[in-house]
Chains A and B, each alone.
Chain A
């Protein structure tokens, strides 16, 4: 019986003999600490690609259209994410504006762009150039993309403003909402183990090293 090479749990360092998962949607957990190790999905790379492309489109539209419009006694104001960041910047809160821009626009964009860069060639059975650095960028960006928190923030703002003026939800709310769902679905499909396994199986293109 062929055995897969040993791995170790990334959270408790226990040496493990990987088992092959056969049921779609099944997940392997570390028997000692319960950490999620890897999972099995049918047509995984295709699904990841589809979700990533859809999410990129939504991210773009979410930033083009206003999130909320406000009508205070005839004075109409509306804002996009970028517009809101610019206000913070003008008020002298550059760090804060940077943080908001980073967590709602830049980090999701980096994460999705990196996934596209990594997975598109893998899906065709090739390895993308600079695989390891781009993978690192993906891993780095992932915890800082906070679209779902932002949506809750929009919701709270709407309620806070509702007793002050007429509030008009903008099209970007729906884009951010959809983006949140797509990112959640993507997080369930995507893990480092899958990408590197696909990398192992892919043809080394013109001797491309991962680094």
Chain B
């Protein structure tokens, strides 16, 4: 068999469940684990677009509506994501304020923009920056979860601050939208098939001597 080819160009599909390589001509299901075989994730681009656009739409209420309502004898105070960061900054913990700012405001935005960029570059059939784009996708998979931070903070505050005479905290509508943004953008990332990045870039970027995998590396040391 010729080296430096993709599996798809040989009519081979990688099983999404167990990683087994199987010929699509002979098998509809993986011979090892019986999962249905596909060359690429089915309807990857359409699904990613749909989930991502839904996340964009919910991003507005997530940031504009209050995520937390504090009722006390002095009145009711509404907190949005941003005002929560400001309060944290003012009460002395600027390090933690920075962490929350990154997790709740920078990351969701960065994630949606990066995913849009990846989708557009695949649609354009771009050959450039393939390795960087692959790395960007891996980064997206890693960081998406950290945006759940504010959901947990609201959950804990709601459970703890329940003193009738002093203060009662209840969740606002914004936190539901915010949780939905996190879930939708995670689902969108999962729906995207990173192999699409490479499909347009074959074969000039394939290293000629390889196919015999690959760099052996120490994790430590």
Contact = CB atoms under 8 A, between A and B. Distances in A.
B7 interface: yes
B152 A12 contact: no
B206 interface: yes
Contacts of A139: 17
Given A15-B6, A161-B161, A153 B156 contact: yes
B149 to A, nearest CB: 5
A2 interface: no
**Chain A contact residues: helix, strand, loop or mixed:** mixed
Given A12-B195, A84-B156, A87-B159, 16 more contacts: A8-B14, A11-B138, A13-B198, A15-B6, A16-B210, A16-B211, A17-B213, A83-B159, A87-B158, A95-B179, A99-B179, A143-B141, A149-B146, A156-B99, A157-B160, A211-B34
B35 A132 contact: yes
A84 B158 contact: yes
Contacts, number: 256
B112 interface: no
A99 B151 contact: yes
A11 B40 CA distance: 10
Contacts of A47: none
Interface in B53-106: 87-88, 91-93, 96, 99-100, 103
A29 interface: yes
Contacts of A19: 212-214, 216
Contacts of A21: 216
Interface stretch (A56-64, A69-77, A108-116): A69-77
B155 A85 contact: yes
A30 B213 CA distance: 6
Contacts of B145: 143, 146, 149
Given A79-B156, A152-B149, A156-B100, A7 B163 contact: no
Contacts of A39: 219
Interface residues of B, number: 82
A11 to B, nearest CB: 5
Interface residues on chain A, size class: 35 or more
A14 B34 contact: no
A132 B33 contact: yes
B217 A29 contact: yes
A35 B138 contact: yes
A160 interface: yes
Interface in B172-221: 175-176, 179, 183, 186, 190, 194-195, 197-199, 205-207, 210-221
A202 to B, nearest CB: 13
Contacts of B220: 25
B45 interface: no
Contacts of B211: 14-17, 31
B155 to A, nearest CB: 5
A117 interface: no
A208 interface: no
A16 B151 CA distance: 42
A31 B151 contact: no
B3 to A, nearest CB: 8
Contacts of A211: 33-34
A203 interface: no
Contacts of A30: 213-214
